[in-house]
């Protein structure tokens, strides 16, 4: 079955660190753009980060310098390393797959179930 399983969410104190994991199955994740998207409680979707095929990465301004996206191709997984966490980072974090083809050109077509990160003292 083609799916993304997200884990690693937790309650963390302000200034703390956390690593999220997204395990891909049914497809080879390194052949796709992979993104992290978050959603604060009761709020809309916010794009966080992307890693392109080949490893180039980009980040939203709100997380630049604090978050790092990276792949572990040997385990077909995607990670988001978060440090310097703030209260406004509290959200459900989704990982998402985006095929790059003549048709899809990097649009998200598959979402993982999300994991809750709560930043609070």
**Shortest Cβ distance from residue 109 to another protein (Å)?**
5
Number of residues that bind another protein (CB under 8 A): 22
Query: Given the complex with another protein, which of 10 and 47 has the nearer CB atom?
Result: 47
The CA distance from 76 to 25, in Å, is 8
Query: Given the complex with another protein, which of 13 and 58 has the nearer CB atom?
Result: 58
Is residue 98 near another protein by the rule CB under 8 A? Answer: yes
Residue whose tokens read 């690693």: 8
Site string for another protein, 37-66 (x = CB under 8 A): x------xxxx--x-------x-xx-----
Residue in 5, 7, 76, 111 binding another protein, rule: CB under 8 A: 111
Binding positions for another protein, rule: CB under 8 A: 35, 37, 44-47, 50, 58, 60-61, 94, 98, 103-109, 111, 113-114
């Amino acid at each position: 079955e083609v799916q993304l399983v997200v884990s690693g969410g937790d309650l963390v104190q302000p200034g703390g660190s956390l690593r999220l994991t997204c395990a891909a199955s049914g497809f080879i994740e390194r052949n796709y753009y992979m993104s992290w998207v978050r959603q604060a409680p009761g709020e809309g979707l916010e794009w966080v980060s992307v890693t392109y095929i080949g490893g180039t990465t980009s980040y939203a301004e709100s997380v630049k310098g604090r978050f790092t996206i990276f792949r572990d191709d040997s385990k077909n997984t995607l990670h988001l390393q978060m440090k310097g966490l703030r209260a406004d980072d509290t959200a459900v974090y989704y990982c998402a797959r985006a095929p790059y083809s003549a048709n899809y050109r990097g649009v998200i077509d598959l979402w993982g179930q999300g994991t809750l990160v709560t930043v609070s003292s």
